Structure 1
Amino acid sequence: MVASIEDVAKRAGVSIATVSRALRGLPDVAPATRDRVLAAATELDYVASPFAARLASGRTTTVGLVVPWVNRWFFAEVIDTVEQALRLAGFDLLLYNLGDKAGRTRFFEVMPMRKRVDGVLIVSLVLEDAEFSALTDLDLPVGLLGLERDGFLSVSIDDVGSARTAVDHLVELGHRRIALIGGDTDDPMAFTPPMHRRDGYRDALRAVGVESDPELEVLGYFTVDGGRAAMRHLLALPDRPSAVFAESDEMAYGALREIHRHGLRVPEDVAVVGFDDQPLSDLLGLTTVRQPVADEALDITNRLLALIADDAENIEHLPRDPAVVLPTELVVRGSTVAGGA
């Protein structure tokens, strides 16, 4: 006779729900209990049927992940981490790439994930009240990565403070004419970092009595080519900057390439700080702000899975710390300090 989940629960001395959570690898099962369930399942040669589990529970064992773009390093890292965490928990990933303003509008009007997912993760989008209302109407657990909102799980970094740390570093080195290569704060996708990191840049300058100069704030659109074009513009100014803060490492890479193309030295002629600490940054000697992208994605995914595992009546009650802010770190290398690590 084929063993059932009820047989496993009886052998392990736990509820059927606990067996389901343990076998899916959800984080809200004590290690000793999980071991007991796994041992019972092994002894009974029990093999869970994902389709039966879905029918029995009324759940899809799928999480919807909503991103503004998929072709940028940050979002690729998030997608990879979330997918791995979900797979370990026995869940599938349903990815929604908004792509542009029209795609965003259509998504929140239609809500194509309705009845297809057990929870939703939103990544780095400044949402309007109507969009939050559309998410609330789904009556599902929702997690936010890169922004906060009362009533929702969230994880983020302090983009304002992190950008200020980067610019403070340049100020401490004696720089005052510091340029910003950033994203478009008027982008209809309302991507969060451009606004927050620009604020941190301006705060750091204001703290030492330097008013921000519009001609030193140039768009780089979070691409290498955009960083090159922005740096080319800055180097053509009658009074070029002595240092640059780029809101992403990609834009910093483009800036470095353009500086070298002009026969200038880094950091002696122009110092450069990036943001992210992508793998290539160490090779290029780029000083940058390291943000724990994988940790952010794993944190919000695990907490969302725990909320999904709760009984339906508990969905409205968030964990003690629904809003988590993870620390960043300034990594100093040769692009700001000659001979740096």
Structure 2
Amino acid sequence: MTIYDVAALAGVSISTVSQTLNRPDRVNATTRGRVLEAIEQLGYVPSATAATQARGGVGRVGVLAPFSSYDSYRRRLMGVLTGSGASTRDIVVYDNESAAASEAPLLRTLPVSGRLDGLLIMGLPVDDELAAHLTRRRLPTVLIDSGRPEFSSVNIDDEEGGAIAARHLLARGHTCFAFVQEPQESFAFVSQGQRRNIGFLAEMTRAGLGEDRVHTVLASNDIAGGRKALHDVLSRTPMPTAVFAHHDVLAAGVLLECRSQGVRVPDELAIVGFDDADIAEASGLTTVRQHFEESGRIGVRLLDGRLADASTPVQRIVLGLELVARDTT
């Protein structure tokens, strides 16, 4: 099969097929979908891909994550780079703005273009169609901060993380809480924040408290969102005496606004974050620590294993969490 066959089946020019493979952002979604469907139907492999397969690879590994949305993925990338220190492969970084129900165009076209030997996907949901696509293309893929049965993965137990925060606050005598998280863009998957909330609520139930004792407050994914969330928290009846935030940036925003409004922390309001990012240590924030760099190092090691031997069994690594108690509780 040639690029001309793909173009004919999709009803487009060969230049459109080329753009779909190389610059998918320049092709409208409907046309791009027709081209990708034709590629899949025909089993088309670009000539450059066939050549590189014969040579045994192109010497590049892709890392795809919402880098511009969360600093935590930068830290995971540092682990990937550290773990790749002895490798001669280049690391190619792709930014995906945020998780969504349907796959981003880049995510579908990367395996088709044949310009990568392997792929690390961090923090993005992989649906059935995309998983089948990656499998058909035989692109070694490892997931970090997400999971699928077809691929090796490195994760934490987000529900247990929520439970850890709950147990810490319950031990300090709190009985009314707020959980601050960013809005969910799509309900086609369960986000990390939702899972942490589930674990938090489950621990409340085990302690004999109803879910009405936990108020969920939605906030934009930044310091300003955390600051604004405090006003919502203070307006609730009964007013929460403790806040658990989906991640440290939101928690830090709550803390800053407490200082601005004269709310005494932790005497009037305790605050717990999640991640143990740099901002948590700098602000004296109690948080649940996860090991970002380690997840990156392990992820690239798993990918190296798949690149060396495609028959390597799927592995699922779950990293531990720990509470770091500081000034806010």
Same fold (TM over 0.5): yes
Partner of residue 329, structure 1: 322
Q: How far, CA to CA, are the matches of 2:163 and 2:214 in structure 1?
A: 19
Partner of residue 95, structure 2: 97
* Deviation by residue 1:26-72 (Cα, 9 ceiling, x = unmatched): xxxxxxxxxxxxxxxxxxxxxxxxxxxx7984311111111134342
Which of 126-135 and 213-222 deviates more?
213-222
Could you tell me how far 1:141 is from its partner in structure 2? 1.3
Letter in 1 for 2:313: L
Could you tell me how far 1:235 is from its partner in structure 2? 1.4
Unaligned runs of 5+ in 2: 1-51
Letter in 1 for 2:218: L
Q: How far, CA to CA, are the matches of 1:175 and 1:130 in structure 2?
A: 45
User: Helix, strand or coil for the counterpart of 1:333?
Assistant: coil
- Does the Cα contact within 8 Å between 2:252 and 2:279 map onto a contact in 1? no
Q: How far, CA to CA, are the matches of 2:206 and 2:125 in structure 1?
A: 27
TM alignment of 1:69-80, pairs within 5 A: 69-80=67-78
1:88 to 71, 86, 89: 86
Partner of residue 178, structure 2: 179
Partner of residue 45, structure 1: none
Using a 3 Å threshold, how does the CA distance of structure 1 residues 252 and 159 change in structure 2: closer, same or farther?
same
Which of 99-108 and 194-203 deviates more?
99-108
Could you tell me how far 1:258 is from its partner in structure 2? 1.1
Using a 3 Å threshold, how does the CA distance of structure 1 residues 102 and 202 change in structure 2: closer, same or farther?
closer
Letter in 1 for 2:247: S
- Does the Cα contact within 8 Å between 2:176 and 2:213 map onto a contact in 1? no
- Does the Cα contact within 8 Å between 1:180 and 1:218 map onto a contact in 2? yes
Using a 3 Å threshold, how does the CA distance of structure 1 residues 121 and 161 change in structure 2: closer, same or farther?
same
Partner of residue 234, structure 1: 233
1:317 to 291, 312, 315: 312
Using a 3 Å threshold, how does the CA distance of structure 1 residues 117 and 238 change in structure 2: closer, same or farther?
same
Letter in 2 for 1:330: L
TM alignment of 1:76-155, pairs within 5 A: 76-99=74-97, 101=100, 104-111=103-110, 114-155=113-154
* Deviation by residue 1:216-270 (Cα, 9 ceiling, x = unmatched): 2011343211111111211133432100001101001000011111111110000
Using a 3 Å threshold, how does the CA distance of structure 1 residues 225 and 191 change in structure 2: closer, same or farther?
farther
Percent identity for Structure 1 against Structure 2: 30
CA RMSD of aligned residues (A): 2.4
- Does the Cα contact within 8 Å between 2:157 and 2:318 map onto a contact in 1? yes
Partner of residue 8, structure 1: none
TM alignment of 1:150-161, pairs within 5 A: 150-161=149-160
* Deviation by residue 1:70-114 (Cα, 9 ceiling, x = unmatched): 342111112232234335311112222222559943234434663
Using a 3 Å threshold, how does the CA distance of structure 1 residues 218 and 202 change in structure 2: closer, same or farther?
same
User: Helix, strand or coil for the counterpart of 2:211?
Assistant: coil
- Does the Cα contact within 8 Å between 2:69 and 2:97 map onto a contact in 1? no
Q: How far, CA to CA, are the matches of 2:143 and 2:199 in structure 1?
A: 22
Which of 88-97 and 260-269 deviates more?
88-97
TM-score by length of 2: 0.77
User: Helix, strand or coil for the counterpart of 1:169?
Assistant: helix
Q: How far, CA to CA, are the matches of 2:299 and 2:282 in structure 1?
A: 30
TM-score by length of 1: 0.75
Q: How far, CA to CA, are the matches of 2:219 and 2:103 in structure 1?
A: 22
- Does the Cα contact within 8 Å between 1:69 and 1:97 map onto a contact in 2? yes
- Does the Cα contact within 8 Å between 2:147 and 2:153 map onto a contact in 1? yes
Letter in 2 for 1:234: V
Q: How far, CA to CA, are the matches of 2:234 and 2:116 in structure 1?
A: 50
1:170 pairs with 2:163: no
TM alignment of 1:236-255, pairs within 5 A: 236-255=235-254
Which of 215-224 and 174-183 deviates more?
215-224
Which of 256-265 and 92-101 deviates more?
92-101
Letter in 2 for 1:133: A
Letter in 1 for 2:96: L
Partner of residue 207, structure 1: 206
Partner of residue 289, structure 1: 288
Partner of residue 267, structure 1: 266
